[in-house]
Amino acid sequence: MLEETPPLLLPEEAIAFFRAKGIAFGFDWRDVWQEEHAKAFTVAKAMSRDLLEDIRQAVDDALVNGTTLATFREQLTPLLMARGWWGRSLETDPLTGEQRVVQLGSPARLRTIFDTNLRSAYAAGRWERIQRQKRVFPFLIYESVKDGRERPEHGAWHKTILPVDDPWWDTHYPPCGWNCRCTARPANQRMLDRRGEKVTDQPVRFPQKDYVNRRTGEITRTERGIDPGFSFNVGKAYLDPLSPKPMPGQPGEGDATAAADLSADAEKVLKRLLRPFELEAGEIQRGKIWRDATGWPFAIGAGLFRSPRGDLQLPNRSQLRRYELGLAALARPDTIRLVWVRDKTGRMMLMRRYLAGTVAFDIGRAGWRTTPLRSAGGGKIVWQR
pLDDT of 263 reads: 67
Query: Looking at the structure, do residues 262 and 214 belong to the same domain, yes or no?
Result: no
Residue type, 14: A
Q: Which of 236, 262, 289 is the last residue of a domain?
A: 236
- pTM recorded for the entire structure: 0.63
- Give the distance, in angstroms, between the CA of residue 368 and the centroid of all CA atoms in the same chain: 18
Query: Looking at the structure, do residues 223 and 255 belong to the same domain, yes or no?
Result: no
Query: Looking at the structure, do residues 288 and 255 belong to the same domain, yes or no?
Result: yes
In a domain, 6, yes or no: no
Q: Domain range for residue 308? A: 243-384
Query: Looking at the structure, do residues 259 and 371 belong to the same domain, yes or no?
Result: yes
Least confident of 76-90, 226-240, 249-263, 339-353: 249-263
pLDDT of 313 reads: 84
pLDDT band at 5 (very low <50, low <70, confident <90, very high): very low
CA dist 313 and 245 (Å) reads 9
Query: Looking at the structure, do residues 348 and 259 belong to the same domain, yes or no?
Result: yes
DSSP state of 304: G
**Rounded to whole angstroms, what are the CA distances from 240 to 124, 133, 316, 330?**
11, 19, 21, 18
HSE, side-chain direction, 13 A CA sphere, residue 200: 19
Query: Looking at the structure, do residues 70 and 195 belong to the same domain, yes or no?
Result: yes
CA dist 266 and 271 (Å) reads 9
Query: Looking at the structure, do residues 255 and 178 belong to the same domain, yes or no?
Result: no
In a domain, 5, yes or no: no
More confident residue, 18 or 270: 270
More confident residue, 186 or 235: 186
Query: Looking at the structure, do residues 183 and 35 belong to the same domain, yes or no?
Result: yes
* pLDDT surpasses 60 at 267: yes
Residues 6+ apart with CB under 8 A from 67: 61, 75
pLDDT band at 10 (very low <50, low <70, confident <90, very high): very low
Query: Looking at the structure, do residues 210 and 69 belong to the same domain, yes or no?
Result: yes
* pLDDT surpasses 80 at 198: yes
Phi-psi region of 229 (alpha: psi -120 to 50; beta: other; left: phi over 0): left
What is the DSSP track for 258-294?
A: -TT---HHHHHHHHHHTGGG-PPTTHHHH-EEEE-TT
The mean pLDDT value for 196-215 works out to: 93
Count of the separate structural domains present in the chain = 2
Query: Looking at the structure, do residues 125 and 220 belong to the same domain, yes or no?
Result: yes
Query: Looking at the structure, do residues 228 and 249 belong to the same domain, yes or no?
Result: no
In a domain, 2, yes or no: no
In a domain, 1, yes or no: no
pLDDT band at 376 (very low <50, low <70, confident <90, very high): low
Q: Which of 236, 270, 290 is the last residue of a domain?
A: 236
In a domain, 183, yes or no: yes
Query: Looking at the structure, do residues 146 and 272 belong to the same domain, yes or no?
Result: no
Q: Which of 220, 236, 252 is the last residue of a domain?
A: 236
pLDDT of 375 reads: 65
